[in-house]
């Protein structure tokens, strides 16, 4: 690690309006002599890296590009194990931010920076996700857009006055965040809950047409193959994004509750995530016991909430994953899902760890492992006994006749 230089700051740099404006602001308003731009690859389109490189060159900005796709894919697989979604969507942006923040922090420490900076506003979630990682270091954290109260209109005027290399045109209609796990689209008329999104906002998913099936193989909860072909995590996710997207799978339109209390309208595309989550859940339903599934649902909710908050490195998440990993030891096998009409549903599952006996479940067998149908009589007598006793007491005290009516008296 290089010794800290009080005049150097590392900026999370995308080459877009916010981060481009931040470069001169960090120099002029905050007094930094050296600004380092760091762009982290978590599966964005190549065009975004081209834009970041061009903008950095035009600004004469020292620019670092870090490949974190493998680390991000690993986190996505942890999310699969946890069946993690937040209010209906698979957490693509939320999962990516801590990975990006950790990569930027590593560069900042290697370069001897005194501070790290981002271009997030004071209204969104990303400021919290970045800073949850950064504030665990000794570096200062700077947020020019938030701290200076900047608006997008002011930034555009500032960029024009300074002749900053900011691309405009129709690309500014929607705000798009894309990574390996999801593609998020917001802004413009999409902010209106009553507005029906046009088909043009979608790139990963086509209008639903046709039907097919896809088989996903898991080992200890991790996807390892699609239709029998073994693929590493990044390639497997990319393949399913393209393949399932052809059938319209993976669209979510949600009124999302942000951490700061704001309710916002978000549109997401996530074909691979939809397939993997559906297949994983189906396999778990086959191999886990009722009690494991019941307890795990609560743990999954907690994991997803922490992931949404950008706190995947928190001690409680490690503790939650202790239970999750224990259950995943038997989540090996395959699940087949049908892609049809923009939906994805499990239609078959198979595992040597299945907690299932066809012989015991069949209506055509009388006695299996010493258990006969008549043995259920005692169970039936006790089932609901306490409830019946409580109702009898209540009816006697209130002087009423037992009834299944729900009408108020």
Catalytic residues: 18, 97, 126, 175
Contact 84, 300 (CB under 8 A): yes
Own/partner contacts of 144-153, CB < 8 Å, gap of 24 or more, are: 144/21, 144/22, 144/25, 144/26, 144/29, 144/30, 144/117, 144/119, 145/18, 145/21, 145/22, 145/119, 145/120, 145/121, 146/120, 146/121, 146/122, 148/25, 148/29, 149/122, 150/21, 150/121, 152/17
∠ CA 19-23-28, rounded to 5°: 140
In whole angstroms, give the CA distance from residue 294 to residue 376. Answer: 24
Contact 179, 48 (CB under 8 A): no
Contact 92, 273 (CB under 8 A): yes
How far are the Cα atoms of 57, 178, 232, 336, 339 from residue 245, in angstroms, in the given order? Answer: 35, 15, 20, 17, 9
DSSP for 32-96 reads -SEEEEEEEESS--HHHHHHHHHHHHHTT-EEEEEE-HHHHHHHHHHHHHTT--BTTB--HHHHH
C-alpha Rg value of the chain to the nearest Å: 26
**Residues 6 or more apart from 172 whose CB is under 8 A from it?**
none
């Amino acid at each position: 690690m290089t010794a800290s230089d009080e005049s150097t700051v590392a900026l999370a740099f995308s080459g877009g309006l916010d981060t481009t404006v931040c470069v001169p602001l960090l120099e002029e308003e905050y007094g930094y002599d050296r600004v380092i731009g760091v762009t982290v690859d978590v599966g964005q389109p190549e065009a975004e890296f081209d834009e970041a490189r061009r903008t950095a060159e035009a600004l004469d900005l020292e620019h670092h590009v870090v490949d974190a796709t493998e680390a991000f894919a690993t986190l996505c697989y942890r999310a699969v194990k946890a069946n993690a979604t937040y209010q209906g969507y698979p957490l693509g942006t939320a999962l990516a931010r801590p990975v990006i923040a950790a990569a930027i922090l590593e560069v900042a420490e290697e370069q001897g920076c005194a501070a790290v900076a981002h271009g997030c506003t004071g209204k969104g979630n990303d400021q919290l996700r970045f800073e949850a990682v950064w504030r665990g270091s000794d570096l200062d954290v700077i947020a020019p857009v938030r701290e200076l109260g900047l608006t997008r209109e002011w930034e555009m005027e500032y960029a024009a006055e300074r002749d900053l290399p900011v691309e405009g045109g129709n690309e500014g209609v929607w705000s798009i965040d894309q990574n390996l796990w999801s593609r998020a689209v917001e802004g413009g008329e999409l902010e209106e809950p009553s507005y029906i999104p046009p088909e043009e906002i979608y790139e990963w998913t086509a209008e639903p047409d046709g039907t097919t099936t896809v088989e996903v193989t898991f080992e200890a909860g991790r996807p390892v193959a699609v239709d029998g072909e073994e693929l590493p995590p990044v390639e497997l996710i990319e393949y399913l994004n393209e393949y399932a997207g052809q059938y319209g799978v993976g669209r979510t339109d949600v009124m999302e509750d942000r951490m700061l209390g704001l309710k916002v309208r978000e549109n997401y595309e996530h074909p691979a995530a939809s397939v993997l989550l559906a297949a994983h859940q189906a396999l778990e339903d086959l191999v886990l016991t009722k009690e494991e599934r019941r307890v795990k649902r609560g743990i999954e909710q907690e994991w997803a909430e922490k992931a949404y908050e950008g706190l995947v490195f928190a001690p409680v998440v490690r503790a939650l994953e202790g239970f999750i990993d224990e259950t995943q030891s038997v989540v090996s096998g395959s699940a087949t899902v049908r892609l049809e009409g923009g939906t994805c549903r499990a239609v078959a599952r198979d595992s040597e760890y299945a907690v299932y006996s066809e012989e015991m479940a069949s209506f055509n067998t009388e006695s299996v492992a010493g258990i006969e149908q008549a043995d259920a009589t005692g169970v039936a007598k006790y089932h609901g006994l306490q409830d019946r006793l409580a109702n009898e007491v209540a009816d006697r005290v209130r002087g009423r006749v037992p009834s299944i009516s729900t009408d108020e008296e």
